[in-house]
Amino acid sequence: MTGADARTNTAAPDGTRTMPTESAPATGRTSRARSGNRSGIGAMLGRMGLGAAGFAVVIAAWQLMAVGEIFGEGLLPTPVEVGRVIVDGLGDGLLDDLLISFRRVLVGVGLGLAIATPIGFVLGWFGIARAMFNPLVNFLRALPPIALVPLVIVYFGIGELSRGIVLVWAAFFATIVIVYEGVASLEEKYVRAAQTLGANRFEILTKVVFPLSVPHIMTAARVSLGIGWASLVAAELVAAQQGLGAVIQNASNFLDIPTVYAGIVLIGISALVMDVGIRMLSAYVVRWQDRGTR
Amino acid sequence: MTQHTTTRDGLSVRGVGKSFGSGGRAVSVLRDVDLEIADGEFVAVVGPSGSGKSTLLNAIAGFVEPDDGEILVNGEPVRGPGPSRCVVFQEYAIFPWLSVRKNIDFGTRLRAWRGSKQERARVTARYLDMMGLADFADALPKTLSGGMRQRVAIARAYAVDPEILLMDEPFAALDAQTREQMQEALVDINQRERRTVLFVTHQVEEAIFLADRVVVMSARPATVQEIVDVPWGDRRTHEIKTDPDFVRLRRRIETLLRSSAH
Protein backbone atom coordinates (compact mmCIF):
# COMPACT_ATOMS: atom_id res chain seq x y z
CA MET A 1 0.00 0.00 0.00
CA THR A 2 1.48 3.32 -0.99
CA GLY A 3 -0.65 5.02 1.64
CA ALA A 4 0.85 3.00 4.46
CA ASP A 5 4.36 3.54 3.11
CA ALA A 6 3.83 7.25 2.95
CA ARG A 7 2.66 7.35 6.52
CA THR A 8 5.50 5.43 8.07
CA ASN A 9 8.02 7.38 6.07
CA THR A 10 6.79 10.81 6.99
CA ALA A 11 6.31 9.83 10.61
CA ALA A 12 9.74 8.34 11.05
CA PRO A 13 12.10 11.39 11.16
CA ASP A 14 10.83 12.92 14.36
CA GLY A 15 9.21 9.85 15.79
CA THR A 16 5.76 11.35 15.96
CA ARG A 17 2.79 9.80 14.30
CA THR A 18 0.39 12.57 13.57
CA MET A 19 -2.59 10.47 12.53
CA PRO A 20 -1.86 6.89 13.37
CA THR A 21 -5.14 5.31 12.41
CA GLU A 22 -6.35 7.45 9.55
CA SER A 23 -7.37 6.18 6.16
CA ALA A 24 -5.59 6.87 2.87
CA PRO A 25 -6.99 10.35 2.09
CA ALA A 26 -5.87 11.60 5.49
CA THR A 27 -2.41 10.23 4.81
CA GLY A 28 -2.33 12.29 1.67
CA ARG A 29 -3.00 15.34 3.78
CA THR A 30 -0.20 14.65 6.24
CA SER A 31 2.32 14.06 3.52
CA ARG A 32 1.35 17.25 1.73
CA ALA A 33 1.70 19.24 4.95
CA ARG A 34 5.20 17.83 5.34
CA SER A 35 6.19 18.13 1.72
CA GLY A 36 8.27 21.27 2.35
CA ASN A 37 10.71 19.15 4.29
CA ARG A 38 12.84 16.22 3.22
CA SER A 39 9.89 13.89 3.27
CA GLY A 40 10.73 10.33 2.34
CA ILE A 41 10.74 8.94 -1.14
CA GLY A 42 7.76 6.83 -0.08
CA ALA A 43 5.78 9.95 0.74
CA MET A 44 6.65 11.44 -2.62
CA LEU A 45 5.59 8.31 -4.46
CA GLY A 46 2.38 8.31 -2.46
CA ARG A 47 1.67 11.89 -3.52
CA MET A 48 2.42 11.10 -7.14
CA GLY A 49 0.21 8.04 -6.95
CA LEU A 50 -2.70 10.12 -5.72
CA GLY A 51 -2.06 12.70 -8.43
CA ALA A 52 -2.07 9.97 -11.05
CA ALA A 53 -5.32 8.66 -9.59
CA GLY A 54 -6.88 12.08 -10.17
CA PHE A 55 -5.92 11.89 -13.85
CA ALA A 56 -7.21 8.32 -14.04
CA VAL A 57 -10.65 9.44 -12.85
CA VAL A 58 -10.89 12.14 -15.52
CA ILE A 59 -9.56 9.88 -18.28
CA ALA A 60 -12.07 7.21 -17.34
CA ALA A 61 -14.90 9.72 -17.47
CA TRP A 62 -13.60 10.95 -20.83
CA GLN A 63 -13.54 7.38 -22.15
CA LEU A 64 -17.15 6.85 -21.06
CA MET A 65 -18.27 10.09 -22.68
CA ALA A 66 -16.42 9.28 -25.90
CA VAL A 67 -17.82 5.77 -26.15
CA GLY A 68 -21.29 7.06 -25.28
CA GLU A 69 -20.95 9.64 -28.08
CA ILE A 70 -22.70 12.29 -26.01
CA PHE A 71 -21.60 15.08 -28.36
CA GLY A 72 -22.64 13.16 -31.41
CA GLU A 73 -20.80 10.70 -33.55
CA GLY A 74 -17.08 11.26 -34.08
CA LEU A 75 -16.91 14.59 -32.27
CA LEU A 76 -15.19 13.33 -29.12
CA PRO A 77 -12.20 11.05 -29.72
CA THR A 78 -11.26 8.50 -27.09
CA PRO A 79 -8.17 9.01 -24.94
CA VAL A 80 -6.44 6.22 -26.83
CA GLU A 81 -7.04 7.90 -30.19
CA VAL A 82 -5.67 11.17 -28.88
CA GLY A 83 -2.70 9.35 -27.41
CA ARG A 84 -1.99 7.78 -30.78
CA VAL A 85 -2.13 11.19 -32.49
CA ILE A 86 0.35 12.51 -29.95
CA VAL A 87 2.75 9.59 -30.30
CA ASP A 88 2.59 9.59 -34.09
CA GLY A 89 2.71 13.37 -34.29
CA LEU A 90 5.77 13.72 -32.09
CA GLY A 91 7.75 11.84 -34.73
CA ASP A 92 6.26 14.05 -37.43
CA GLY A 93 6.66 17.75 -36.65
CA LEU A 94 4.53 17.98 -33.52
CA LEU A 95 7.66 17.83 -31.39
CA ASP A 96 8.93 20.96 -33.16
CA ASP A 97 5.70 22.78 -32.35
CA LEU A 98 5.96 21.66 -28.76
CA LEU A 99 9.57 22.84 -28.44
CA ILE A 100 8.80 26.14 -30.13
CA SER A 101 6.00 26.87 -27.67
CA PHE A 102 8.19 25.74 -24.80
CA ARG A 103 10.97 28.04 -25.85
CA ARG A 104 8.63 30.98 -26.36
CA VAL A 105 7.24 30.60 -22.87
CA LEU A 106 10.66 30.23 -21.26
CA VAL A 107 12.17 33.19 -23.09
CA GLY A 108 9.12 35.43 -22.68
CA VAL A 109 8.58 34.65 -19.03
CA GLY A 110 12.32 34.81 -18.34
CA LEU A 111 12.54 38.28 -19.89
CA GLY A 112 9.42 39.43 -18.08
CA LEU A 113 10.85 38.25 -14.76
CA ALA A 114 14.23 39.79 -15.46
CA ILE A 115 12.71 43.18 -16.25
CA ALA A 116 10.07 43.18 -13.54
CA THR A 117 12.23 42.03 -10.63
CA PRO A 118 14.51 45.08 -10.39
CA ILE A 119 11.59 47.44 -11.00
CA GLY A 120 9.61 45.59 -8.34
CA PHE A 121 12.53 46.12 -5.98
CA VAL A 122 12.52 49.84 -6.60
CA LEU A 123 8.77 50.09 -6.09
CA GLY A 124 8.95 48.00 -2.93
CA TRP A 125 11.91 49.82 -1.48
CA PHE A 126 10.95 53.45 -2.18
CA GLY A 127 7.56 54.39 -0.78
CA ILE A 128 7.26 57.41 -3.08
CA ALA A 129 7.80 55.33 -6.22
CA ARG A 130 5.21 52.86 -4.98
CA ALA A 131 2.64 55.57 -4.24
CA MET A 132 3.20 56.98 -7.71
CA PHE A 133 3.08 53.80 -9.77
CA ASN A 134 0.91 51.44 -7.77
CA PRO A 135 -2.41 52.61 -9.30
CA LEU A 136 -0.90 52.53 -12.78
CA VAL A 137 0.45 49.03 -12.31
CA ASN A 138 -2.89 47.81 -11.06
CA PHE A 139 -4.66 49.38 -14.03
CA LEU A 140 -2.36 47.73 -16.55
CA ARG A 141 -2.32 44.46 -14.65
CA ALA A 142 -6.09 44.21 -14.88
CA LEU A 143 -5.94 44.10 -18.67
CA PRO A 144 -5.85 40.53 -19.93
CA PRO A 145 -2.70 40.09 -22.03
CA ILE A 146 -4.85 38.48 -24.70
CA ALA A 147 -6.66 41.79 -25.17
CA LEU A 148 -3.38 43.22 -26.40
CA VAL A 149 -3.04 40.72 -29.22
CA PRO A 150 -4.91 42.73 -31.87
CA LEU A 151 -3.00 45.93 -31.14
CA VAL A 152 0.34 44.18 -31.01
CA ILE A 153 -0.36 42.60 -34.38
CA VAL A 154 -1.22 45.98 -35.84
CA TYR A 155 1.99 47.56 -34.58
CA PHE A 156 4.45 44.71 -34.75
CA GLY A 157 3.03 42.27 -37.27
CA ILE A 158 2.47 38.60 -36.70
CA GLY A 159 6.08 37.64 -36.07
CA GLU A 160 7.95 36.36 -33.09
CA LEU A 161 8.22 39.87 -31.67
CA SER A 162 4.46 40.22 -31.24
CA ARG A 163 4.10 36.97 -29.35
CA GLY A 164 7.15 37.89 -27.30
CA ILE A 165 5.63 41.22 -26.32
CA VAL A 166 2.40 39.61 -25.16
CA LEU A 167 4.31 37.07 -23.08
CA VAL A 168 6.72 39.54 -21.56
CA TRP A 169 3.81 41.81 -20.72
CA ALA A 170 1.95 38.99 -19.00
CA ALA A 171 4.96 37.87 -16.97
CA PHE A 172 5.99 41.43 -16.19
CA PHE A 173 2.77 42.43 -14.50
CA ALA A 174 2.34 39.14 -12.70
CA THR A 175 5.87 39.45 -11.32
CA ILE A 176 6.09 43.09 -10.49
CA VAL A 177 3.20 43.08 -8.05
CA ILE A 178 4.37 39.96 -6.23
CA VAL A 179 7.92 41.26 -5.96
CA TYR A 180 7.12 44.75 -4.76
CA GLU A 181 4.57 43.61 -2.26
CA GLY A 182 7.12 41.07 -1.04
CA VAL A 183 9.82 43.70 -0.70
CA ALA A 184 7.49 46.17 0.98
CA SER A 185 6.44 43.61 3.57
CA LEU A 186 9.91 42.40 4.55
CA GLU A 187 10.52 42.04 8.23
CA GLU A 188 12.15 45.20 9.48
CA LYS A 189 14.21 43.34 12.07
CA TYR A 190 16.53 41.87 9.45
CA VAL A 191 17.21 45.27 7.95
CA ARG A 192 17.90 46.67 11.39
CA ALA A 193 20.18 43.79 12.27
CA ALA A 194 22.17 44.37 9.08
CA GLN A 195 22.41 48.10 9.80
CA THR A 196 23.86 47.52 13.26
CA LEU A 197 26.38 45.13 11.76
CA GLY A 198 27.54 47.90 9.46
CA ALA A 199 25.71 47.28 6.19
CA ASN A 200 25.25 50.31 3.97
CA ARG A 201 22.11 50.83 1.90
CA PHE A 202 23.45 48.95 -1.08
CA GLU A 203 24.57 46.02 1.04
CA ILE A 204 21.19 45.88 2.74
CA LEU A 205 19.57 45.66 -0.66
CA THR A 206 21.86 42.95 -2.02
CA LYS A 207 22.57 40.96 1.13
CA VAL A 208 19.26 41.19 2.98
CA VAL A 209 16.41 42.41 0.81
CA PHE A 210 17.35 40.28 -2.17
CA PRO A 211 17.66 36.92 -0.37
CA LEU A 212 14.44 37.64 1.51
CA SER A 213 12.73 38.32 -1.83
CA VAL A 214 13.79 35.10 -3.48
CA PRO A 215 10.73 33.20 -2.24
CA HIS A 216 8.54 35.93 -3.72
CA ILE A 217 10.44 35.82 -7.00
CA MET A 218 9.93 32.07 -7.15
CA THR A 219 6.22 32.53 -6.56
CA ALA A 220 6.17 35.16 -9.27
CA ALA A 221 7.92 32.79 -11.66
CA ARG A 222 5.34 30.12 -11.00
CA VAL A 223 2.40 32.45 -11.50
CA SER A 224 4.02 33.94 -14.59
CA LEU A 225 4.55 30.55 -16.19
CA GLY A 226 0.87 29.75 -15.76
CA ILE A 227 -0.20 33.06 -17.25
CA GLY A 228 2.52 32.68 -19.88
CA TRP A 229 1.08 29.45 -21.26
CA ALA A 230 -2.40 30.91 -21.40
CA SER A 231 -1.20 34.03 -23.18
CA LEU A 232 1.09 32.22 -25.58
CA VAL A 233 -1.56 29.87 -26.82
CA ALA A 234 -3.93 32.76 -27.29
CA ALA A 235 -1.31 34.59 -29.32
CA GLU A 236 -0.55 31.48 -31.35
CA LEU A 237 -4.20 30.82 -32.04
CA VAL A 238 -4.53 34.19 -33.68
CA ALA A 239 -1.30 34.45 -35.55
CA ALA A 240 1.30 31.77 -35.88
CA GLN A 241 2.42 29.05 -38.25
CA GLN A 242 4.11 27.03 -35.58
CA GLY A 243 3.54 26.23 -31.95
CA LEU A 244 0.88 24.29 -30.11
CA GLY A 245 -1.66 27.10 -30.49
CA ALA A 246 -1.13 27.02 -34.23
CA VAL A 247 -1.49 23.25 -34.27
CA ILE A 248 -4.86 23.56 -32.60
CA GLN A 249 -5.95 26.35 -34.90
CA ASN A 250 -4.92 24.51 -38.08
CA ALA A 251 -6.49 21.24 -36.96
CA SER A 252 -9.77 22.92 -36.13
CA ASN A 253 -9.89 24.41 -39.63
CA PHE A 254 -9.97 20.84 -40.94
CA LEU A 255 -12.22 19.63 -38.14
CA ASP A 256 -9.39 17.29 -37.13
CA ILE A 257 -10.68 17.00 -33.59
CA PRO A 258 -8.23 14.34 -32.34
CA THR A 259 -5.34 16.68 -33.19
CA VAL A 260 -7.08 19.56 -31.41
CA TYR A 261 -7.22 17.38 -28.34
CA ALA A 262 -3.63 16.33 -28.82
CA GLY A 263 -2.59 20.00 -28.82
CA ILE A 264 -4.62 20.72 -25.71
CA VAL A 265 -3.22 17.74 -23.86
CA LEU A 266 0.33 18.69 -24.81
CA ILE A 267 -0.20 22.24 -23.56
CA GLY A 268 -1.42 20.86 -20.26
CA ILE A 269 1.49 18.47 -19.98
CA SER A 270 3.98 21.22 -20.82
CA ALA A 271 2.54 23.55 -18.20
CA LEU A 272 2.53 20.75 -15.67
CA VAL A 273 6.14 19.84 -16.37
CA MET A 274 7.24 23.45 -16.03
CA ASP A 275 5.29 23.85 -12.82
CA VAL A 276 6.87 20.76 -11.30
CA GLY A 277 10.28 22.03 -12.40
CA ILE A 278 9.81 25.44 -10.88
CA ARG A 279 8.52 23.92 -7.66
CA MET A 280 11.53 21.66 -7.36
CA LEU A 281 13.83 24.58 -8.06
CA SER A 282 11.96 26.67 -5.53
CA ALA A 283 12.13 23.99 -2.84
CA TYR A 284 15.88 23.92 -3.33
CA VAL A 285 16.47 27.66 -3.52
CA VAL A 286 14.40 28.52 -0.48
CA ARG A 287 15.26 25.45 1.56
CA TRP A 288 16.20 27.77 4.41
CA GLN A 289 12.59 28.76 4.92
CA ASP A 290 10.99 27.59 8.12
CA ARG A 291 7.96 25.52 7.24
CA GLY A 292 6.11 27.19 10.08
CA THR A 293 6.33 30.55 8.33
CA ARG A 294 5.29 29.35 4.92
CA MET B 1 28.32 72.98 22.57
CA THR B 2 29.44 70.69 25.34
CA GLN B 3 30.04 67.87 22.94
CA HIS B 4 33.67 67.26 23.66
CA THR B 5 33.93 68.18 27.31
CA THR B 6 34.62 64.59 28.27
CA THR B 7 37.72 62.66 27.37
CA ARG B 8 36.27 59.54 28.86
CA ASP B 9 35.71 56.63 26.50
CA GLY B 10 32.41 54.80 26.47
CA LEU B 11 28.85 55.98 26.20
CA SER B 12 27.38 59.29 27.31
CA VAL B 13 23.66 59.89 27.32
CA ARG B 14 22.90 63.47 28.28
CA GLY B 15 19.51 64.99 28.91
CA VAL B 16 17.84 62.75 26.37
CA GLY B 17 14.10 63.17 25.89
CA LYS B 18 11.75 61.58 23.41
CA SER B 19 8.03 61.85 22.68
CA PHE B 20 5.98 59.91 20.20
CA GLY B 21 2.98 61.33 18.39
CA SER B 22 2.24 65.01 18.14
CA GLY B 23 0.04 67.75 19.54
CA GLY B 24 -2.32 66.84 22.34
CA ARG B 25 -1.81 63.13 21.87
CA ALA B 26 1.97 63.20 22.19
CA VAL B 27 3.27 60.68 24.69
CA SER B 28 6.49 61.53 26.45
CA VAL B 29 8.50 58.32 26.73
CA LEU B 30 11.90 59.50 27.89
CA ARG B 31 12.61 62.61 29.90
CA ASP B 32 15.97 64.03 30.74
CA VAL B 33 17.85 60.74 30.78
CA ASP B 34 21.49 60.98 31.88
CA LEU B 35 23.75 57.96 31.80
CA GLU B 36 27.48 57.41 31.59
CA ILE B 37 28.88 54.01 30.78
CA ALA B 38 32.63 53.54 30.98
CA ASP B 39 34.60 51.50 28.52
CA GLY B 40 34.40 47.81 29.36
CA GLU B 41 31.50 48.22 31.76
CA PHE B 42 28.42 45.96 31.78
CA VAL B 43 25.34 47.98 32.62
CA ALA B 44 21.83 46.61 32.88
CA VAL B 45 18.74 48.76 32.52
CA VAL B 46 15.56 47.70 34.31
CA GLY B 47 12.25 49.50 34.43
CA PRO B 48 8.54 48.90 34.65
CA SER B 49 7.20 47.33 31.48
CA GLY B 50 6.08 49.92 29.00
CA SER B 51 8.65 52.38 30.30
CA GLY B 52 11.14 53.72 27.83
CA LYS B 53 13.87 51.08 28.24
CA SER B 54 13.73 49.91 24.66
CA THR B 55 13.29 53.44 23.35
CA LEU B 56 16.48 54.41 25.14
CA LEU B 57 18.27 51.45 23.56
CA ASN B 58 16.87 52.31 20.14
CA ALA B 59 18.02 55.89 20.54
CA ILE B 60 21.55 54.72 21.35
CA ALA B 61 21.40 52.29 18.43
CA GLY B 62 20.39 55.15 16.15
CA PHE B 63 16.98 53.79 15.16
CA VAL B 64 15.20 56.57 17.02
CA GLU B 65 16.27 60.19 17.08
CA PRO B 66 15.90 61.89 20.46
CA ASP B 67 13.98 65.16 20.63
CA ASP B 68 16.32 66.59 23.27
CA GLY B 69 19.80 65.93 24.51
CA GLU B 70 22.66 64.07 22.95
CA ILE B 71 24.19 60.63 22.83
CA LEU B 72 27.94 60.23 22.42
CA VAL B 73 29.95 57.10 21.79
CA ASN B 74 33.63 57.70 22.47
CA GLY B 75 32.90 61.39 22.16
CA GLU B 76 31.24 61.03 18.75
CA PRO B 77 27.56 61.93 18.47
CA VAL B 78 25.29 59.10 17.32
CA ARG B 79 23.87 59.56 13.83
CA GLY B 80 21.85 56.62 12.65
CA PRO B 81 22.56 52.94 13.18
CA GLY B 82 26.06 51.60 12.72
CA PRO B 83 28.45 48.84 13.74
CA SER B 84 29.90 50.84 16.63
CA ARG B 85 26.68 49.99 18.48
CA CYS B 86 25.70 46.49 17.53
CA VAL B 87 22.31 45.27 18.72
CA VAL B 88 21.17 41.85 19.87
CA PHE B 89 17.41 41.85 19.45
CA GLN B 90 14.74 40.13 21.47
CA GLU B 91 13.10 38.57 18.42
CA TYR B 92 15.41 36.17 16.69
CA ALA B 93 16.94 38.37 14.05
CA ILE B 94 19.59 36.06 12.69
CA PHE B 95 19.34 35.72 8.92
CA PRO B 96 17.38 32.53 8.15
CA TRP B 97 18.93 32.02 4.70
CA LEU B 98 22.49 31.93 6.04
CA SER B 99 24.23 29.15 7.92
CA VAL B 100 25.42 29.77 11.45
CA ARG B 101 28.93 30.50 10.19
CA LYS B 102 27.73 32.92 7.54
CA ASN B 103 25.55 34.69 10.07
CA ILE B 104 28.54 35.20 12.32
CA ASP B 105 30.77 36.54 9.56
CA PHE B 106 28.02 38.67 8.00
CA GLY B 107 29.42 41.82 9.60
CA THR B 108 33.04 41.01 8.83
CA ARG B 109 32.21 40.58 5.15
CA LEU B 110 30.83 44.09 4.85
CA ARG B 111 32.80 47.02 3.57
CA ALA B 112 32.57 48.73 6.95
CA TRP B 113 34.80 46.06 8.48
CA ARG B 114 38.49 46.65 8.23
CA GLY B 115 40.41 43.45 8.58
CA SER B 116 42.09 40.81 6.52
CA LYS B 117 40.63 37.55 5.31
CA GLN B 118 42.71 35.60 7.80
CA GLU B 119 41.47 37.82 10.58
CA ARG B 120 37.88 37.21 9.53
CA ALA B 121 38.37 33.46 9.59
CA ARG B 122 40.00 33.69 12.99
CA VAL B 123 37.25 35.89 14.44
CA THR B 124 34.51 33.62 13.11
CA ALA B 125 36.16 30.45 14.41
CA ARG B 126 36.75 32.05 17.77
CA TYR B 127 33.13 33.05 18.36
CA LEU B 128 31.76 29.85 16.94
CA ASP B 129 33.87 28.14 19.53
CA MET B 130 33.17 30.51 22.40
CA MET B 131 29.43 30.28 21.99
CA GLY B 132 29.52 26.50 21.66
CA LEU B 133 28.41 26.61 18.02
CA ALA B 134 31.35 24.88 16.38
CA ASP B 135 29.38 21.70 15.69
CA PHE B 136 26.56 23.69 14.11
CA ALA B 137 28.63 25.95 11.88
CA ASP B 138 26.92 24.81 8.69
CA ALA B 139 23.43 24.41 10.13
CA LEU B 140 20.57 26.64 8.98
CA PRO B 141 18.78 28.68 11.65
CA LYS B 142 15.50 26.84 11.15
CA THR B 143 17.09 23.76 12.68
CA LEU B 144 18.19 25.61 15.84
CA SER B 145 16.41 26.16 19.14
CA GLY B 146 15.69 29.66 20.41
CA GLY B 147 18.69 29.56 22.76
CA MET B 148 21.01 28.51 19.96
CA ARG B 149 19.68 31.27 17.71
CA GLN B 150 20.47 33.86 20.36
CA ARG B 151 23.95 32.36 20.74
CA VAL B 152 24.42 33.02 17.03
CA ALA B 153 23.11 36.57 17.43
CA ILE B 154 25.53 37.23 20.30
CA ALA B 155 28.48 35.72 18.43
CA ARG B 156 27.59 37.79 15.36
CA ALA B 157 27.53 40.97 17.44
CA TYR B 158 30.86 40.30 19.16
CA ALA B 159 32.43 39.50 15.79
CA VAL B 160 32.10 43.08 14.51
CA ASP B 161 33.91 44.33 17.61
CA PRO B 162 31.52 47.17 18.47
CA GLU B 163 32.34 50.01 20.85
CA ILE B 164 29.22 49.07 22.73
CA LEU B 165 26.93 46.07 22.57
CA LEU B 166 23.26 46.80 22.97
CA MET B 167 21.12 43.90 24.13
CA ASP B 168 17.37 44.38 24.04
CA GLU B 169 15.88 41.71 26.30
CA PRO B 170 17.68 39.03 24.32
CA PHE B 171 16.59 36.16 26.57
CA ALA B 172 12.99 37.22 27.16
CA ALA B 173 11.55 34.65 24.76
CA LEU B 174 13.50 31.72 26.23
CA ASP B 175 12.35 29.24 28.85
CA ALA B 176 13.75 29.63 32.36
CA GLN B 177 16.36 26.92 32.08
CA THR B 178 17.70 28.03 28.70
CA ARG B 179 17.69 31.57 29.99
CA GLU B 180 20.01 30.68 32.86
CA GLN B 181 22.35 28.85 30.51
CA MET B 182 22.41 31.86 28.22
CA GLN B 183 23.14 34.21 31.12
CA GLU B 184 26.10 32.05 32.05
CA ALA B 185 27.27 31.89 28.45
CA LEU B 186 27.11 35.68 28.26
CA VAL B 187 29.03 36.10 31.52
CA ASP B 188 31.60 33.71 30.16
CA ILE B 189 32.11 35.40 26.81
CA ASN B 190 32.17 38.85 28.33
CA GLN B 191 34.70 37.98 31.00
CA ARG B 192 36.98 36.81 28.24
CA GLU B 193 36.25 39.63 25.81
CA ARG B 194 35.39 42.52 28.11
CA ARG B 195 33.19 44.74 25.96
CA THR B 196 31.00 47.62 26.93
CA VAL B 197 27.47 46.26 27.20
CA LEU B 198 24.10 47.88 27.75
CA PHE B 199 21.62 45.17 28.59
CA VAL B 200 17.90 45.94 28.79
CA THR B 201 15.75 43.51 30.74
CA HIS B 202 12.65 43.49 32.88
CA GLN B 203 14.07 40.75 35.10
CA VAL B 204 15.83 42.19 38.12
CA GLU B 205 17.60 38.94 38.93
CA GLU B 206 19.04 38.78 35.43
CA ALA B 207 20.18 42.40 35.65
CA ILE B 208 22.05 41.88 38.94
CA PHE B 209 23.53 38.58 37.82
CA LEU B 210 25.01 40.05 34.67
CA ALA B 211 25.82 43.67 35.33
CA ASP B 212 28.40 45.80 37.12
CA ARG B 213 25.74 48.46 37.60
CA VAL B 214 21.97 48.35 37.36
CA VAL B 215 20.15 51.43 36.09
CA VAL B 216 16.64 51.61 37.51
CA MET B 217 14.26 53.56 35.30
CA SER B 218 11.03 55.16 36.47
CA ALA B 219 7.65 54.72 34.85
CA ARG B 220 6.76 56.80 31.78
CA PRO B 221 8.12 59.30 31.00
CA ALA B 222 11.16 57.28 31.97
CA THR B 223 14.09 58.87 33.65
CA VAL B 224 16.97 57.40 35.60
CA GLN B 225 15.62 56.77 39.08
CA GLU B 226 18.66 55.24 40.65
CA ILE B 227 21.88 53.52 39.66
CA VAL B 228 22.82 50.57 41.84
CA ASP B 229 26.34 49.13 42.01
CA VAL B 230 26.64 45.37 41.96
CA PRO B 231 29.53 44.25 44.16
CA TRP B 232 30.42 40.77 42.88
CA GLY B 233 33.05 41.68 40.30
CA ASP B 234 33.83 38.68 38.17
CA ARG B 235 32.42 36.18 40.63
CA ARG B 236 29.28 35.37 38.61
CA THR B 237 28.29 31.84 39.27
CA HIS B 238 24.90 30.38 39.69
CA GLU B 239 25.24 30.35 43.48
CA ILE B 240 25.32 34.11 43.92
CA LYS B 241 21.65 34.29 43.03
CA THR B 242 20.81 32.78 46.42
CA ASP B 243 23.40 34.80 48.35
CA PRO B 244 21.59 36.90 51.02
CA ASP B 245 23.25 40.06 49.70
CA PHE B 246 22.02 39.27 46.19
CA VAL B 247 18.51 38.68 47.46
CA ARG B 248 18.59 41.91 49.46
CA LEU B 249 19.76 43.88 46.43
CA ARG B 250 17.08 42.29 44.31
CA ARG B 251 14.37 43.19 46.86
CA ARG B 252 15.59 46.75 46.99
CA ILE B 253 15.45 47.20 43.23
CA GLU B 254 12.07 45.51 43.00
CA THR B 255 10.74 47.86 45.66
CA LEU B 256 12.07 50.82 43.70
CA LEU B 257 10.36 49.56 40.56
CA ARG B 258 7.07 49.00 42.34
CA SER B 259 7.09 52.43 43.94
CA SER B 260 7.65 54.10 40.57
CA ALA B 261 5.02 52.08 38.71
CA HIS B 262 2.08 53.56 40.56
* CA distance linking residue B238 with residue B185, whole number of Å: 12
Q: For position A117, what pLDDT does the model report?
A: 92
In a domain, B25, yes or no: yes
- Of B143, B161, B179, which residue constitutes the final position of a domain? B161
Contacts of A194 in chain B (CB under 8 A): 106
> Which residues of A touch chain B, with CB atoms under 8 Å apart?
189-190, 192-200, 203, 207-208, 211-212, 214, 286-291
Residues B248 and B226 in one domain: yes
Residues B23 and B138 in one domain: no
In a domain, B236, yes or no: yes
Q: Give residue-wise pLDDT tens across range B62-94.
A: 999 999 899 999 888 988 898 889 999 988 899
Closest by Cβ to B81, choosing from A196, A208, A288: A196
Contact call for residues A240 and A132 (beta carbons, < 8 A): no
Residues B258 and B175 in one domain: yes
In a domain, B151, yes or no: yes
Nearest-neighbour CA in chain A from B157: distance (Å): 7
* CA distance linking residue A197 with residue A208, whole number of Å: 12
Contacts of B57 in chain A (CB under 8 A): none
Residues B149 and B217 in one domain: no
Question: CA quadruple B135, B139, B143, B148: dihedral positive or negative?
Answer: positive
Q: Give residue-wise pLDDT tens across range B104-158.
A: 999 888 887 888 888 888 999 999 988 889 899 899 999 998 899 999 999 999 9
Residues B45 and B152 in one domain: no
Contacts of B61 in chain A (CB under 8 A): 196
- CATH number (domain holding residue B257): 3.40.50.300
Residues B259 and B177 in one domain: yes
Q: Could you list the pLDDT tens digit for every one of the 294 residues in chain A?
A: 333 343 333 333 333 333 333 333 333 334 444 444 455 788 888 888 888 999 999 999 999 988 888 887 778 888 999 999 899 888 888 899 999 999 999 999 999 999 999 999 888 888 888 889 989 988 888 888 888 888 888 898 878 888 888 899 999 998 999 998 888 888 889 999 999 999 998 899 889 999 999 999 999 999 999 988 888 888 887 767 888 988 998 888 898 899 999 999 999 999 999 999 999 999 999 889 876 544
Query: Phi and psi (nearest 5°) for A240?
Result: -170, 150
Q: Give residue-wise pLDDT tens across range B28-37.
A: 888 889 999 9
Q: Do B81 and A287 touch (CB under 8 A)?
A: no
Nearest-neighbour CA in chain B from A34: distance (Å): 15
Residues B169 and B59 in one domain: yes
Contact call for residues A249 and A199 (beta carbons, < 8 A): no
User: How long a stretch of residues is chain A?
Assistant: 294
In a domain, B30, yes or no: yes
CATH of domain A88-293: 1.10.3720.10
Residues B253 and B241 in one domain: yes
Comparing CA positions, the residue from A57, A54, A48 lying closest to residue A6 is A48
Q: For position B165, what pLDDT does the model report?
A: 93
Range in B99-103, B158-162, B218-222 the model is least confident about: B218-222
> Domain range holding B171?
1-84+165-262
Range in A162-171, A210-219, B2-11, B209-218 the model is least confident about: B2-11
Residues B119 and B171 in one domain: no
What is the number of other CB atoms lying within 10 angstroms of the CB of residue B152? 27
Q: For position B221, what pLDDT does the model report?
A: 84
* CA distance linking residue B194 with residue B26, whole number of Å: 40
Contact call for residues B29 and B19 (beta carbons, < 8 A): yes
ipTM above 0.85, yes or no: yes
Residue B60 has pLDDT above 80, yes or no: yes
Q: For position B57, what pLDDT does the model report?
A: 93
Contacts of B112 in chain A (CB under 8 A): 198-200
- Of B120, B141, B161, which residue constitutes the final position of a domain? B161
Contacts of A211 in chain B (CB under 8 A): 95, 97-98
- Which residue in chain B is spatially nearest to A287 when comparing CA positions? B97
Contacts of A195 in chain B (CB under 8 A): 62, 80-82
Q: Do A197 and B140 touch (CB under 8 A)?
A: no
Residues B258 and B182 in one domain: yes
DSSP structure class, residue B118: H
In a domain, B90, yes or no: no
**How big is the A-B interface in CB pairs under 8 Å?**
74
Closest by Cβ to A190, choosing from B82, B93, B157: B93
Q: Do B93 and A189 touch (CB under 8 A)?
A: yes
- Of B161, B195, B213, which residue constitutes the final position of a domain? B161
Mean pLDDT confidence for B201-206: 90
Q: For position A22, what pLDDT does the model report?
A: 34
Domain ranges in chain A? 2-75, 88-293
Residues B178 and B71 in one domain: yes
Residues B173 and B132 in one domain: no
Residue B95 has pLDDT above 90, yes or no: yes
Peptide bond into B231 cis (omega under 30): no
Residue B7 has pLDDT above 50, yes or no: no
In a domain, B258, yes or no: yes
Our count of domains for chain B comes to: 2
* CA distance linking residue B42 with residue B60, whole number of Å: 15
* CA distance linking residue B138 with residue B130, whole number of Å: 16
Residues in contact with B134: Cβ distance below 8 Å, sequence separation at least 6, in sequence order: B125, B128
Closest by Cβ to A196, choosing from B61, B95, B96: B61
In a domain, B215, yes or no: yes
